[in-house]
Structure 1
Amino acid sequence: MRISDRGFRLFVPMLSVAFVFALMLFRTAYAEDHTPTALKLGQSLPGTQPLQVDEPIDVWMVSGINRFAERELSRSELTRQQHWQRDYSSDDHYLQSVRPNRKRFAEIIGVVDSRVDHPGIRMTLSHDQFNSAPPILASSGHCVAYEVNWPVLDGVTGEGLLLSPKGRDPIATVIAIPDAQWSPEAFVGLIENADVHPFVLRLVQQGCEVLIPTLLSRECEFSGHPLVGFTNQPHREFVYRTSFEIGRHVIGYEVQKVLAAVDHFVARRNSKNVIRPIGVLGVGEGGLVGMYAAAIDPRIDSALVCGYFDNRENVWREPIYRNVWGLLSEFADADIASLIAPRRLTIEACRVPEVDGPPSVTAGRRGGAAPGQIHSAEIASVRDEFTRAKSHYEPLGRRDQIKLVISGDDTAATATGPAGSEAALSSFLIGLDVEHLNGTAAALTSHLPLPDPSARQARQVNELVERNQRLVRDSPRIRDEHWRQADRSTVAAWETTTRSYRDEFYDEVIGRLPHAMLPINPRSRLIFDEEKFKGYEVVLDVFTDVIAAGILLLPTDLKPGERRPVVVCQHGLEGTAASTLEQRKDQFLRRGFAAELALRGFIVYAPQNPYRGGDAFREIQRKSNPLKRSLFSYIIPQHERTLQWLCTLPHVDRDRIAFYGISYGGKTAMRVPPFVPEYALSICSADFNEWIGKTTSNLYRASYVYTGEYEIWEWNMGNIASYAELACMMTPRPFMVERGHRDGVAPDEWVASEYAKVRRHYDELGIGDSTTIEFFNGPHTIRGLGTFAFLHKHLNWPEPK
């Protein structure tokens, strides 16, 4: 049930009158007994229901949002089909109808950069060392193997092995992608690995040439920088972290490596006018990359996905480098398979390398890697997802083009057999016009020293990290170009021309929840009663299982009919609403800033934000990202609901409500007030900085690349808005930064440089007195000097004598 706008306008005055009357009665009772014990603890605020809960509010809040997010994941199958307009009337019509989905899929996995113009597979060793013949790394009676690389993007190469049939021209080309725990040499049996069945050698025996790329591994040897330090993050996570903020992804980079190889093989095919089908197969992580590549590129004729295809509603439990923004809002594995249709697709449920978490923290390495597990899939789950995928092949009359193979015991709960079963390979080869699979293949014998897998892994990791650093350095130019349509000639012009930018950031970076709010249902209880103010714990309903909560401080000298400004005081990471009332050792204030402002006569509200509980709250981000949502997708509605309720209180001036947040509350200051117009001003304390560098730099010691806050990255933010642009979205409302010189969030130079853009913006609009920055000689804390003066000035409330 939702109160109509008209009903709400009628409801507020009635509630206000009732509240004033009740408050007058309360003040009369209070006057008869001047001691702080005149009110009974637990008593509810007039106009609210009693708050009766034994569970800590922060725990209640975080667990509720987690339940909401899980429920949304479970119903995503019902909602994502609205993004598809499939036309099954013919193959051509179908391919045309899914073209927009294919484009969006490429974008969300970061396949957005143009590849090199002249691709080519190059032998790693110089031919001159071996007179004229290419250097053969290894061979058998049917196969020769070469160490190769190929250009992909500027500064990025693929590396691996190329296997060719001995003594004859290939009849088909296969790009075979091993799991991230396997090197190409292990994948073909040149390095002993009990988990690997070198089935790709059978493809060469059938006449296929096979390219085997190197994937970034799950080791952590090169995750860091020698000038800063190293972490226990898998290489895949380390590159994921430096990629996400600029709209790139480790998945996308590896798909690009596959597609650059396809570019080469297609160009060679065209130059020789020889029809040679192209197939992609992969195991585990390689299955993910191969399936995604086949979904993006229709030039791939056949795909074999081994040990990856499954229901993805629990993707948040998997390693974070599989986290894709908005994936399940449009693309379950069955939908990705539909992008491969009507081409050949073989799904093999098989055993894959399992992962219980990131590498252990060892001496000399930082911790902080995100948790995540990989287990062999449950066969029943794979069958269900396969049935959904098959439903897109059948209307096209292509049901024989998609096949499910169970490797090992098909009656077991989980897949037991290795990748590359006879049935899977035979099905895959049908898509390459190779109809028979004969015998077993002879093992390879090496003729040269095998490639150094550690040195190759270092090159592959460092190339991608350095590319990301170049993109970060170029991101200010990209943002300036992006904001070119914003008109700074007048305040009115700015507000008009930036509405679309504000909507874009909310929708594409934060993620907007498309749900109507529940009735407010305010509950409260008195938790303390001091001489100058009393405090109520408050809980409001937002969505099912999602609450807004906090502590309301009401000065005791409020007069009937008086309306005062409100300051919303936001705590930092792992804090509580009560922590804004407490004195800290590093603070300049006698008490917490919320209490100090209440002593100055402001009405104060300290919200509880959900970034508390370690992995418990970070799981909210993990569960939400696949549906194109973030932690702030919940925090913004929580604040909207809070302000909606505050505006019903008789002593609140709804036009004078300010936001003041520290640390993670400073992050909130940058991401909530710009999108909640009821906030009259915003103060960001101990967080404002050059945000894109802070989240991506591999050279800055306090970069989030090196910390345990694995929820921090926001998809493609670097190309849309950093903190300067977010602050400018406050225009013409006042905005202030509070900054301690010894705050480790970022160097003063980063903060000053980013803020200079804000000050110039306000000055150019003729409202320079509406923004300021205060530097002070202190650490990561609130000074409460210039900021308090800023509040008094812009909320028009007299400073105490």
Structure 2
Amino acid sequence: MYKRFYKPLLCLLATFLLIQPFKAASQGNKLISDEAETVRTDAYEKQLENYLQHYLVDEYEARSAKAWNRDYSSPEALIRSVEPNRRRWEAVLSPPMLAKTGPLARKPYPLGDVQGEWIELPLGLLTAQAVLAFPAKASKQKPVPLIIVQHGIGSSPETSFSPGGYHEYAKGLLKAGFAVLVPMNLRSVERRNNIERYARLAGTSLPGIELVRVQHLLDVVLADPRVDAERVGMWGVSLGGMATMFWMPLEPRIKAGVVSGWFNERRNKMVIKDSRYSSFAPTEEHAFFNGWLTEFTDYDAVSMIAPRPLMIQHGKKDGIAHWPQLIEEYDKAKVHYQKLNMPEKIELTLHEGGHEAVVDDGVKFMARWLNTASAKK
């Protein structure tokens, strides 16, 4: 009797136990409510955010003090002393090995009243592309300095010859007697986000790739007898300012730089959201590079540029930074030059405008340092 009673009961229980996992899966895991799970996950996310913000911002000064061992006894000593940091910075950008796979192609490229050339250099599956233009006086007998003119994320090489925030600064340089090399880099946030994801998977970075493209162009362009290869500068606006800051530590042929609309209190810019300035998060994923804030906030990065002349340009109405914070960062950066007894080699142009280049100041700065013998030191 008991066996007849328990056997159906055991079958029913077995069926129930078999069905339950499928039922739970179909209805979602209700061992914890959605609300409770969200609260728990939000709390964990906040822990991670606090932990990483503390590391990147609060612990930065102590970490930087251990990472750098600068020797200011001479310019040459400083260059040698930051070499380990330079190698680590190179690892942040991880520029790839690219090789020239053909000759430079050139074609006329008029830009309004400027007659330039569009040049392309094959590098395997990639090409390095740029506008190249010379002032009328350039010749084999009278070679001229060359300025790498780097456009920002929302523009193109042609922009530097146009009105607007760039104020035709490539034209201003040509009128002052400089040749200009205006590389084409990838424009738009969406495109750079897309390519940077692939670059990270490949162990490189988009700024690293674009650096190598420009280096190969320099190899060819500096062989032109109209160019004085010892007098090369770089002037970038916005993301072109990033390129100037990023590349000068790794390209010693660049003897002077102007950074417009980029220099910043980098830890705040990248990590701390604030209504007083724009943040790259959450849309500009392309601007986050592995290891950048381990030891390379802007004032530290400048020590890999020194003793070469450097001008920072920033407008008080430029929302990329809260300008009083920028001044604090600049004051730390200029210490490197002060300790070398070369305070005149770094300048800050703080103006009342916005996200733009200040042409006259930048041209005069380049003329001062690239049209004199001191540029060759």
Query: Shared fold (TM-score greater than 0.5)?
Result: yes
Query: Is residue 212 from structure 1 mapped to residue 185 from structure 2 by the alignment?
Result: no
Instruction: Tell me the equivalent position of 1:99.
Output: 83
Is the contact made by 2:98 and 2:212 (CA closer than 8 Å) also made in structure 1?
no
- Partner of 1:308: helix, strand, or coil? coil
Give the superposition deviation at 1:376: 2.7
Asked if 1:145 corresponds to 2:116, the answer is yes
1: CA distance between counterparts of 2:203 and 2:37? Answer: 43
Aligned counterparts of 1:275 and 1:256: Cα–Cα separation in 2: 18
Secondary structure at 1:346 match in 2: strand
Identify the residue that residue 774 of structure 1 maps to in structure 2. none
**CA deviation vs aligned residue, 1:15-63 (integer Å, no higher than 9, x gap):** xxxxxxxxxxxxxxxxxxxxxxxxxxxxxxxxxxxxxx99932222222
Q: Which residue of 2 aligns with 1:179?
A: 152
8 Å Cα contact 2:144-2:228 kept in structure 1: no
**How far has the Cα of 1:275 moved from its partner?**
5.5
Deviations 1:399-449 (A, max 9, x none): 111111113x2xxxxx536313422331233221269xxxxxxxxxxxxxx
The runs of at least 4 aligned residues of structure 1 exceeding 6 Å deviation read none
Deviations 1:267-315 (A, max 9, x none): 446xx89554000110001110122111111111111110000011131
2:264 aligned counterpart, secondary structure: coil
Distance 1:421 1:167, change over 3 A: closer
The equivalent residue for 1:334 is 299
Deviations 1:225-257 (A, max 9, x none): xxxxxxxxx110111011102211111111222
Provide Cα deviations, 1:341-380, integer angstroms capped at 9, x if missing partner.
Answer: 001111111389x9xxxxxxxxxxxxxxxxxxxx432211
Residue from 251, 254, 259 that aligns with 2:210 = 254
> Which residue identity does 2:270 align to in structure 1?
V
DSSP-derived class of the 1:278 partner: strand
Provide the residue aligned with 1:65 in structure 2. 48
Measure how far apart 1:212 and its partner are.
Answer: 0.8
Q: For the Cα contact (< 8 Å) 1:144–1:166, is it kept in 2?
A: no
Given the alignment, which residue of 215, 229, 242 partners 1:288? Answer: 242
Mark the CA change 1:300 to 1:104 in structure 2 (over 3 Å): closer, same or farther: same
Paired position in structure 2 for 1:377: 321
Task: Map 1:642-657 onto structure 2 (within 5 A).
Answer: none
Helix, strand or coil for the counterpart of 1:334?
A: helix
- Check 1:206–1:331 CA distance in 2 against 1; reply closer, same or farther (3 A cut): same
Gaps of 5+ in 1: 1-52, 126-134, 220-233, 355-374, 410-414, 436-801
- Residue in 2 aligned with 1:423? 361
CA offsets 1:659-678 (integer angstroms, 9 cap, x no match): xxxxxxxxxxxxxxxxxxxx
Matched residues in 2 for 1:378 and 1:429: separation? 30
Residue 171 of structure 1, CA deviation:
1.6
Counterpart of 1:423, as a letter, is D
CA shift for structure 1 position 387: 1.1
Which secondary structure does the structure 1 equivalent of 2:217 belong to?
Answer: helix
Q: Is the 8 A contact 1:188 1:198 kept in 2?
A: yes
Cα distance in 2 for partners of 1:136, 1:266 equals 20
The answer to whether the aligner puts 1:403 opposite 2:357 as a matched pair is: no
State how far apart, in whole Å, the 1-side matches of 2:111 and 2:234 are: 23
Code of the aligned partner of 2:358 = G
Q: Which residue of 281, 296, 301 maps to 2:255? A: 301
SS at match of 1:162: strand
Tell which structure's C-alpha radius of gyration is larger.
1
Name the amino acid aligned to 1:59: D
SS at match of 2:127: strand
For 2:134, what is the secondary structure of its paired residue? strand
- Please show how residues 285-684 of structure 1 align to structure 2 within 5 Å: 285-313=239-267, 314-316=269-271, 317-318=279-280, 319-350=284-315, 375-407=319-351, 409=352, 416=354, 418-433=356-371
**Identity, % of aligned pairs?**
24
Which sections of structure 2, spanning at least 5 residues, go unmatched?
1-35, 272-278
Deviations 1:540-561 (A, max 9, x none): xxxxxxxxxxxxxxxxxxxxxx
2:200 counterpart residue number:
244
Tell me how far apart the structure 2 counterparts of residues 278 and 147 of structure 1 sit (CA, whole Å): 20
Task: Check if 1:278 corresponds to 2:241.
Answer: no
Q: For 1:97-136, what aligned pairs fall within 5 Å after superposition?
A: 97-116=81-100, 121-123=104-106, 125=107, 135-136=108-109
- Contact 1:115/1:256 (CA < 8 Å) preserved in 2? no
8 Å CA contact 1:307–1:351 kept in 2: the answer is: no
Q: Is the alpha carbon distance of 1:430 and 1:68 closer, same or farther for their aligned partners in structure 2, counting shifts above 3 Å?
A: same
Which has the larger share of helix? 2
The 3-state SS of whatever aligns with 1:180 is coil
Alpha-carbon contact 2:265-2:329 (below 8 Å) kept: yes
Work out whether residues 230 and 253 of structure 2, in 8 Å CA contact, stay in contact via their aligned partners in 1: no
Residue 28 of structure 2 aligns with which residue?
Answer: none
